[in-house]
Amino acid sequence: MDELFEKIRKTADLLERSEYAVVLSGAGVSTESGVPDFRSPGSGLWTMLDPELFTIQGFKANPKAFYEGGAPFVRMLGDAEPNEGHTVLAELEKRGLVKAVITQNVDGLHQKGGSNKVLEIHGTLSSASCMVCDYTVSIEEVAADVEEGLLPPLCVECGEPLKPDVVLFGEALSPDYKEAMEEARRADLIMVVGSSMQVSPANQLPALCDNLVIINRTSTFYDQQARVVLNESTSRAMRLLLEELDKRG
């Protein structure tokens, strides 16, 4: 326990000394909101769904199967609420200690939790677009069509299937990735929060900064070079970090 609090204090020191701290978040931030990650044995999405359905080739070949497989996940995200990990990160931004959140998540929970500058490098599940004419609708409209059995939901402009604005396997990353690289290069501290850093090219971003803090339940490729490694849930680590900062006034 003493070691944990010493790491929390060191993280607070690094944050307070930093002039431009950036957060890189992954699925571990949202698991405590009931959103499954991708690879955990028995609970990860890829143990429940066929990853081939979620390639761009799979979507184009069979958009109906894509929606049949993904509909439960969309409903799950619709019910999810931000947890303490999200809200504390938003508070750190409000205090000027965090300048941006770069996230691999598509659930929108950072924004719901109060963060303003959020770069969604894997896209967002808040909307869907037509790949032919770029017509865009809210995910709520798509979900309503799915609930009514309209599989796949179709563009009202040209009749082609609507695709959620998430990055599928085989697609380029969202335009946010370019800005994320600029933020990572500018940063004098990157906090990796809730990510095992297994997915490329997101896992290349920490290499752009010399000062790293890793907050993740399991080990990552960057642990050896990080200034602090906290193998804790993100919500607990964030709560303890905020309490430490509050004690300092």
Q: Any idea which residues carry the catalytic annotation?
A: 122
Q: Domain tally for the chain?
A: 2
- Expressed as residue numbers, the domain containing 88 is 1-35+83-122+173-249
Residues 149 and 184 both lie in one domain: no
pLDDT in tens, 162-177: 999 999 989 999 999 9
pLDDT class for 34, splitting at 50, 70, 90? confident
Residues 211 and 148 both lie in one domain: no
User: 59: closest CA among 174, 152, 173?
Assistant: 152
CB-CB contact of 220 with 70 (8 Å): no
Report the share of the chain in percent with pLDDT over 90. 78
**CATH number, domain containing residue 48:** 3.30.1600.10
Domain termination residue (choose one: 144, 166, 188): 166
- Pairing state between β 123-130 and 136-138: antiparallel
Residues 18 and 135 both lie in one domain: no
Indicate the DSSP class of residue 141: H
47 has a pLDDT exceeding 70? no
Residues 190 and 237 both lie in one domain: yes
- Could you tell me the two tokens for 11? 């993280």
179 has a pLDDT exceeding 90? yes
* Long-range pairs for 57-66: beta carbons < 8 A, 24 or more residues apart: 57/170, 58/168, 59/161, 59/163, 59/168, 63/151, 63/152, 63/161, 63/163, 64/151, 64/152, 66/152
CB-CB contact of 47 with 133 (8 Å): no
Strand intervals (E) in 68-132: 100-103, 118-120, 123-130
